[in-house]
Structure formats: C-alpha cells, structure tokens
Structure 1
Amino acid sequence: MSAHENHLPPHVVIVGGGFAGLWATRALARDDVRITLIDRRNHHLFQPLLYQVATAGLSAPDIAAPLRHILRRQRNVEVRLGEVTGIDTGAHRVSLAGGGDLDYDYLLLASGATHAYFGNDNWAAHAPGLKTLDDALGIRRRLLLAFEHAEATDDPAERAAWLNFAVVGGGPTGVELAGTLAEIARHTLKNEFRHIDPAEAKVRLVEAGPRVLASFPESLSEKARRQLESLGVEVMTGRAVEDIDADGYTLGRSGPGSDSNRDRERVAARTVLWAAGVAASPLGALLDAPRDRAGRVQVEADLSVPGHPDVFVAGDLASVQQNGKPVPGVAPAAKQMGACVAKAIRARIAGQKAPAFRYRDMGNLATIGRMAAVVDLHGVKLSGLVAWWFWLWVHVLFLIGFRNRLVVLINWAWAYWSYQRHARIIFGRPDSVDASPPD
C-alpha cells in the first residue's frame, strides 16, 4: 500500500550516502516527504582526499563524518545501515541483506562505483584500488610495511623489490598517489632507517594512453609529467600492464604497431597500486534498465530510469551524455545530480514536469605533490605553486563540517613546514601485508 493511500507523506528511499545521495537528501530537507537513507557504511566520505589517508597525510575521521551526525537536525530523514540486495519496481519495494523490505514511492540509487580490472579480477589481490576508507587503510599498511621489509632483509634483490613501487593509471588518483609516494620516500622517511635509504625507492607511474591526466589540456598534462619527474617519479606512457602477481608485474606496449613480445618487461615489485579504471556499482544490475559497458545505468534527461519515472539513478552509477560527451564521474557532477533528483521528485509530487539535468562543469584539478598541482578552469590554466594553493583551498572549502576543515588545515600546515605525515601508524600483524585494516 502506497504512502498516499495511507495519507502519509511520500516515502523517498535513497541508496548511498555519497555526494549524490547526501545532496539529494539535504535538498529535500524542507519538503513534506519521509526519507530513508540506506548505506553499507555509517559515514559520508570526501573521496577527493582519500589518497591522503592512503599515504598517511590524514586520518580517516579528517575526511569522513557519520551520516547520522550530518543529518541529525533533518527531521524528515532516517538513516539505515544496510545493503540493498533486491529491487522490485513493480511492487515499489527494496529488499535488504539479512531480511526486511522497504516500500517506496520514489527511489534513488546512488551507490557509486568500484574498481575495474578489465577482466583480470585476480589482480585485485595484488594491486588494490582506492575507493573506500578500508581501501585507503589497506594501501597505507602496504606502503609502510614495504619500507619495513626492505629494512629487515639482507638480500639486495629482495630489498630492491620491496623498494619498487608502481601506480597503474595516469588519471588524477594515480598522479596524486605517485607524487605523494615519491615525497614520502625522499622527505618524510629521511634519516628514519639504518639499513636502507628510503630515497632510493623507485616510484613508477604506468599509463597505457599517450599522456597522463588525459582529461586535461595537453599543455597541463605535459607540465604534470615534468612536475612528477622533478619529484622523482618515473612516468611511463604508452605502456600497458599485462599481468600482476605477488612478486611484480609485466608490462607490454600499447597502441598500433606495438610488439608485445619484444616490448614485454617483467618488473620485480612488491607494491602495485591500481588507479586505472572504475566500474559502476553492481546495484545497477538489479534494475531492468539499459546499461553501458562500465555497468552504468542509462537514464532519461531527468535522471529517471526508462519506463520507471519514480526510480532515479545519480552519481557514478548513472550514464549521462551532454553535448556528445559523458558527464565525468567527479564530486561536483554527483552533487548536481543529487540536487536535480530532489527537484524531479518535488515536481513529480506536484504533478509537474521534472527538469532535465544539465551539468555545470566546474573545471579540473589535480595535485601532484608538495607545492605542485594543475588546474583547468574553462581555459584558465594554472600549474605549480598557484595551482597547489587553489587546489588546497577548494578541497578544504568543500569538506563536511568545521572540525574537518580546521584539522585538515592544521595537518597540512604541519606537513608543509616539517615534511612529516602524522598518520604513519601500522595496524595489525607486522608479518602480513594483507591483514585487514582496522575499522
């Protein structure tokens, strides 16, 4: 029985507490609706700074906040910790893991994206990606343990393998990880070991395409390459990873005219990080709706699912084209989608036509390392120190909560003057690289 038949306000079920889900929830704060926000985790995560947790610059609470705390004053919302396992669009119902159903009048799926290994899912165990706090804590553990293992061994070949680091994927996440890792090796860990010199660590960024930061103008891409190389990162473009295992990885050459046998290179490396691809959350497969090759749901102009005007998809799970190009999977786009869905639900309730989604491009930003970044603001191109300060200001501005902004500013100010990264704590058993990180 629907909410209307019960004379109750319409029930809006929102799946996912990321940017799209949270912004839709907050946009409906003054509407006469009942909202249930469902997420597998109890927190909202500021993903653009996730690499800082992975590289020990920030702690998890600095970039995350409990959803219940964020929404504590919004009386029309209930937060539910759980995982959606089924969607019955005919009955207007979602099923949760462990039992229990929720009826809805309007449904928004905003469950984000996961890692994509292009059909090589066995690589995941040896080359973790970065999407969640668990991922970040696990990567941080791997990075710090690599130096510890190098310090403990007397075998030169084994030591070299522990001090070989590779980041696969030359997008913003890969560039940020590689640049920060080089900074840790050359500055943060200086004089802390007795048998190794951390500055001898080799950090390699591998990109199958012709250049890093392909979404940026070519001039900024080249500046990013030069800034990475000045930090000590070896940038390899036009090289594709063909295999990854516990002992290292194999490179081939991508592009026309390449000879994979002649160009193949085997590299002994115990730490490989994956930043090369994403796939939509598997939740989209629960809908009877067309999806693209990455699993994203192809939606109508108002972000509703074709044939189901009461079901919406937003964020990284939605496949949206604008001016012949896909809308990028970035935080500003997800926020705008969430706000658009709120307007669409409001229009549906009022019996009006829902507005079409239009993405307002806010520009591209990527940080490379200490005092190095690139910024593209609709033709205004910045790089180096000015770009770094702009990048810092934007990211601090959009953090959730005053405490988060203050803590991040203090930590970054300390890191700027001291080169130190305060979160260099290894949790779990020291003899296991793959131990599960703490909650």
Structure 2
Amino acid sequence: MKKFLLVLLLIVVLVAGGIAWFATRKPVSPFDNVAAMQAPSEELLQRGEYVARLGDCVACHSTPKSAPFAGGLEMGTPLGSIFTTNITPDKETGIGAYTLADFDRAVRQGVARDGHRLYPAMPYPSYVKMSDDDIRALYAYFTGRVEAVRQPNKPSGIEWPLNMRWPLALWNAVFTEGGTYEQKAAGDDRWNRGAYLVQGPGHCGSCHTPRSITMAEKALDESSPLYLSGALLDGWYAPSLRGDPNTGLGRWTEDDIHAFLKNGRNGHAVVFGSMADAFNNSTQFMTDDDLKAISHYLKLLPGDPARDGTPWQYDEGAARNVALPAREQIPGAQTFMAKCSFCHGADGRGKQQWIPPLAGSAASLAKENASQINVTLNGSGRIVADGIPDAYRMPPFRQQLSDQQIADVLTFVRSSWGNRGGSVTADEVKSLRQHTDPASSSPIILQMR
C-alpha cells in the first residue's frame, strides 16, 4: 500500500512539475536571435503606425482621460473586470524594456516579458496570424514614435484562485492556433488580403464570433459557418458579418460595406457602440485597397438560411399602428411617435445614410436585443470622420424613460414593418441599466502619436 501511495505521489509530482514547466516556459519567437533594432527608418515608423491602426490598439489601451496607449480601460469578463495595460515605451510601467522577441511573444502568443500569461481579452488568438514584417513595424512604432508615459497598470478585479495565470497556458494549447496567416489557393490576392486583415490585425472575430463556455471563439476562420456569425459581448450584440439577409450583410453590396467602414455609415446602418470606436480610431484610416479587400472577403462569406429564416420584407401595416387613435392602444407606439419618429421616421425607414432605419435593421431582426436596449439607455458615441464630429447622434433616454417604457417601445420597433426580433422585457432593460455606465458611451478619439 505504501509503495502504491509513493508511486501515486511521484506521478502527481511529475505531472504537476510538467504542467508548471509548460505553463512558465517562454514560447519561441522568430526574433529570439535578432540583434537589437537600429534606429528605424521613417518608412518603417509610418508602416508601424498603420499596422497599429489596423489593430485598433489605441481603442483598448487608452481611456478618454488618459494619454494614448497608457492603458487603464476597464473590460468586463464573466470572472470580473480586467484593465488594459500601459504599452507606451516607459521602461518601468510600459514596454520600454521589451526586446522585439518579447514584444512578439506578448502580441502573438499572449506571454508578457516576465513570463506571465495575458488574458485573451488581448486578441492574441487573432494577432498570431500577423506577419513578421507587420510585427517588426509595430514594434518600431511603439518604441520609436509613441511617447512614453509613466502610468502603473491596474490589478484585475478577478479574485483568487480564478486570477491565476498559469492555466492560460493550457487554454492556449487547446483553443488557439499557431502560425502566421498563409495564402489560400481558393482565393485571389484581394480575397487573401481581406482574410488576413479580418482574421489577423483586425481581429473581427473577437467581437463577432460566438464564444463557448470556455470563452474561446468557436471558430477562427471561414472554414466554419460559426465564424463571424454574431455574438453577445459585454452589453452589446455584434451582428453577423456573413451573408445572412436578416441579421448579417446579405442585403449589403461590397460598396455598402466599404462605405460603412470608410464613412461610418451607409443606407443600412450607422456605427454605434464598440463599432463607433473601431471606426473613429481604425477603419477610416485604412487605405481604400484594404477596405475593398475586407469588403470582398466578407461579402463572400455565406449566410445560414436555416438560422436566419425567410428574408425580411417591408410591411406597410405598421403605418396603421402609429396613426391616431390606434397608437394610444398599442404599448410603445405612442412613445415611438413622441421620442423616435422625428429622426427614424414614422415609417421606420430612417433618413438615408444620416439616420439609420429601424425597419429591417439587423438589430431589429436578431433575437439578441442587448444592442437596442443599450443604445436606447445610453445613446451612441459621437462619430468623428476626418476630425469632424457628426451632427447626428442617438441621445440617451436613461433619464427620460422607465424600464417598462423602453421595453414597450423596443418591442414595438422589433415587431413593426416586418421586423421579427422578438419582445423586450422590463427586467432585461433593468439588468442592462444596472450593468452599463453612461460614461461608457463617450467616444475615445485619440491622436496616436
């Protein structure tokens, strides 16, 4: 019996030691034996700045009150809040002591310079696909152009034992894929460039792909129909980017997608929520060639008719419901006419590209209602295109309307003009009212240099 217990103890020790070794070892980087970078050229610095725009690094690693890239943005997770880190070249609180290999491990493999694992809120499962050239340029930009800011990082709000980092090594081994993006013969050069941008630096799947109970994205590329099929994330619903005619991009042309990314608006929608930050700090700065490549790639992702249902068609019948005296008898109709119709129209069609339609919008047809509740409560951030703030924005109704009034008006919207997103309850509004902070609707518009 004693021999058996000793053998069992030895096995436990060996397994524990193996796990500990695996969890604490630093992954190999292709830059491990690269000499310290010389003073980067202006061309490399400019390319690095562009790659930082592609990755929208400034949106997460900044706050409206902080210097660019100094960190401190609170991000909600099921386990508790975490805060983004200082990635300015300050040697004590930032990444000033990082070598190119250290930087590469952090960005593409989720391992900090001291060996601790990063939470996958840092989208390294996507960034791993970035090319060596883009990583080299990004490092040159952060160490050679970004201004150093001394700002200590905030500890996470995740309590022990869930805050232990070593299990993330096992998570990475199971749920991430190694290797940079490789050209696929099935697509042309434009398709492959779009795939690289969407899957790699753009990390679109971080928001738009559903996650499993382990918080891993259920798919990382177009080989799965779940990739970019829509996901609920921290009080917002990121819609499908596939060819779904109701909840995705099925009714959009490539030009529509290009206009949305370039201008923040088109005839179908206007950016809001997290996408407003992505537009303000990232997509509007991309080249037309890159935007067209992204549009081309997304437009070729097929939809799922079984999930999306019969394509939406406009129903004129709602006009009767907003006419007097009928609207006085329909919950939400009177509130809609008083608070919403001036901008979105009594017919729900909006005002061309300036004010989005509610009739047939993805948010009105998706079963997830978080985005409509959130934007009704907190409004939308200001869209800033070419440095000019937009004159039109969704105002917050948090103080003007009760939970029941918001539930009623959204139920009306989601069941009118052919919409079939489903009803909204007062409890759902109450939950998001408590979860969201009005300050979070303020846009982060930052000059990166």
- Shorter-chain TM-score: what band? under 0.3
* TM-score, with structure 1 as normaliser: 0.22
Greater helix share, structure number: 2
TM-score (norm 2): 0.22
